[in-house]
Amino acid sequence: MPALLAGEDRQDTSRPPAGGPPDGLQQGVIEEAKRRRRTRRARLGMFVLLALVGIGALAWLFSGGGAPAAPARPERSHRGPAGSRRALAAGGFGIRLSPALDGGQYGWCVGVSEAGFSGIAGGGCSTTPTALVPLSMVLTSADGRTRKASIVVLTTPQVAAVRFDGHRRVATAELPGLPYGLRAARIVVPFAGRRSAGGRLIFTAPAEPSLTPLDRAGKPIASAPVRPGGQEPPLSARGPCALTVRGVPGLAARWSHVASEIAPYPGVLVGRAFFSCIDTEYYLHGWPLDVAILLDAERPGRSPAAIPGLSPVPGEPRYVNGPGDFKGELTATRRGHAWLVVAGGSGLSQRLEVLSHLEATVKL
């Protein structure tokens, strides 16, 4: 079977990444990777529900049950990567996409920036826009300072507006961080306030609004289920992709997500997207770095598209660098028909050091 990375077709892809666990612990590693994937799916599947729970908690706090809390966020809290504070849209928010790096994932991570936040205010991963799913991702968060819930919707190009609660409409917009004609809309829902019998002002959580995508004529757009099953290949202790880093003292691998197979995305994409066939988290001098191999999602054997938002590194034209998702900034280089990507770390120089010592294998 052909190897996609020139000069590395004789490597044994059955071995775990260097610095990783010995053979006796491979099953433990894959079980941990499966647990991480189940957790990720649960987060993505329950985004709105979790956010509304957060809104309810804030309402309880404002009713006198406790002190005001920090905003509820749909994803675990991370410091936003440098460059995430891009110019916000006129509606007070911005969106950008970065490749989903966890092995076995197709598509994008969606990062939302809002006024008042120094980094990513919210987001999620593993969304792959298709024409059959006009509302590609819905992200909800609550802000205890403003007593408002913010609903950000990523849509496909044919969606001109989003109708919510049956009659109100918000127009979608093209934003600088969105490629392929994708659009977005932001809906702000204030907390409802009322006086209790004792005269105390109580804020109650708004009900979850119903969302309907509309075309340019104002007509509803039919939608398929948001997350049809069977899109991602199962994880495995061994797969067709392998990563090895040699010659970097102190670098240690902790865990990996390894896709058991390489398969084209089972749907018609809007634009281009990526498939991560493996990622490994390394630590170097206390800094976490996530290393991944990205292939073209629709046709894994062809050269993948450029990664949005990345620009050439001065003096190092083989490498590109720019903002990523919750894992930090991205540095990447093309190798054959694949991208090799490193995210996070202490900075650009550390990511370049790891990339320059990285050996990768992809076999179809």
Residue 7 lies in a domain: no
Asked if residue 4 is part of any domain, the answer here is no
Contact 124, 109 (CB under 8 A): yes
- Residues 310, 194: one domain? no
Mean pLDDT, rounded, of the chain = 77
Domain-ending residue, one of 182, 214, 246 = 214
Residue 141 has pLDDT above 60, yes or no: yes
Instruction: Answer yes or no: do 187 and 255 share one domain.
Output: no
> Has residue 226 been placed in a domain?
no
Per-residue pLDDT of 106-118, as tens digits, reads: 999 998 887 765 5
Query: Where in the sequence is the domain holding 353, given as residue range(s)?
Result: 23-41+231-362
The answer to whether residues 97 and 199 belong to one domain is yes
Q: Both 54 and 104 in a single domain?
A: yes
In a domain, 17, yes or no: no
Q: 250 with 357, same domain?
A: yes
| Helix-, strand-, coil-residue percentages of the chain, each rounded to 5 | 15, 40, 50
* Domain match, 278 and 324 both: yes
pLDDT at 286 exceeding the cut of 50: yes
Q: Write down the pLDDT at residue 118.
A: 56
- 150 or 57, greater pLDDT: 150
Q: Are residues 210 and 120 in the same domain?
A: yes
Whole-prediction pTM value? 0.74
Q: Which of 185, 214, 243 is the last residue in one of the domains? A: 214
Percent of the chain surpassing pLDDT 90: 51
The answer to whether 212 and 138 have CB atoms below 8 angstroms apart is no
Which of the four pLDDT bands, split at 50, 70 and 90, describes residue 149?
A: confident
Which amino acid is residue 354, in one-letter code? Answer: V
Q: Do 53 and 196 lie in a common domain?
A: yes
Question: Which pLDDT does position 305 carry in this prediction?
Answer: 97
User: φ and ψ at 321, to 5 degrees?
Assistant: -150, 150
Burial level of 64, CB count in 10 A (0-12/13-18/19+)? exposed
Which comes out higher in pLDDT, residue 282 or 32?
Answer: 282
Strands ordered across the beta sheet of 211-214? 168-171, 161-164, 211-214
If 0-12 CB within 10 Å is exposed, 13-18 middle and 19+ buried, where does residue 116 land?
exposed
Flag whether pLDDT at 70 surpasses 50.
no
Q: Which two tokens stand for residue 140?
A: 């909800």
Same domain, 62 and 188: yes
Same domain as 151, residue 27: no
| 244 lies in some domain | yes
Residues pairing with 142 in the sheet: 72, 149
Is the predicted pLDDT of residue 284 greater than 50, yes or no?
Answer: yes
225, part of any domain: no
The number of distinct structural domains making up the chain is: 2
Instruction: Report how far residue 99's alpha carbon sits from residue 76's, in angstroms, rounded to the nearest whole number.
Output: 18
Q: Is 75 helix (H, G, I), strand (E, B) or coil?
A: coil
Q: Of the candidates 183, 214, 245, which is a domain's last residue?
A: 214
Q: What pLDDT, on the 0 to 100 scale, is given for residue 72? A: 30
291 and 169 fall within a common domain: no
> 291: helix, coil or strand?
strand
In a domain, 219, yes or no: no
Checking if the pLDDT of 104 tops 70, the result is: yes
Residue 233, pLDDT score: 85
Using the predicted structure, report yes or no on whether residue 180 has a pLDDT greater than 70.
yes
| SS3 labels along 116-181 | CCCCCCEEEEEECCECCCCEEEEEEEEECCCCEEEEEEEECCCCCEEEECCCEEEECECCCECCCC
Least confident of 13-22, 296-305, 332-341: 13-22
Tokens of 175: 């934003």
| Residue 257 included in any domain | yes
304 and 344 share one domain = yes
In angstroms, the CA 220 to CA 216 distance is: 10
Q: Check residue 12 and give its pLDDT.
A: 37
81 burial type by CB count under 10 A (0-12 exposed, 13-18 middle, 19+ buried): buried
In whole angstroms, give the CA distance from residue 126 to residue 227: 10
Mean pLDDT of 191-220: 82
Cα–Cα distance for residue pair 220/189, rounded to 1 Å: 22
Predicted pLDDT at 3: 55
> Mean pLDDT across the stretch 56-65?
35
Tokens 């205890």 locate to 144
Closest by Cα among 233, 320, 336, 329 to 277: 233
Is the model more confident about 91 or about 204? 204
Q: What is the pLDDT of residues 12-59, one digit of tens each?
A: 333 334 443 334 334 444 445 445 554 444 443 333 333 333 333 333
pLDDT value of position 323: 92
Number of helices followed by number of strands (H, E) in the chain? 3, 20
Residue predicted with more confidence, 120 or 334: 334
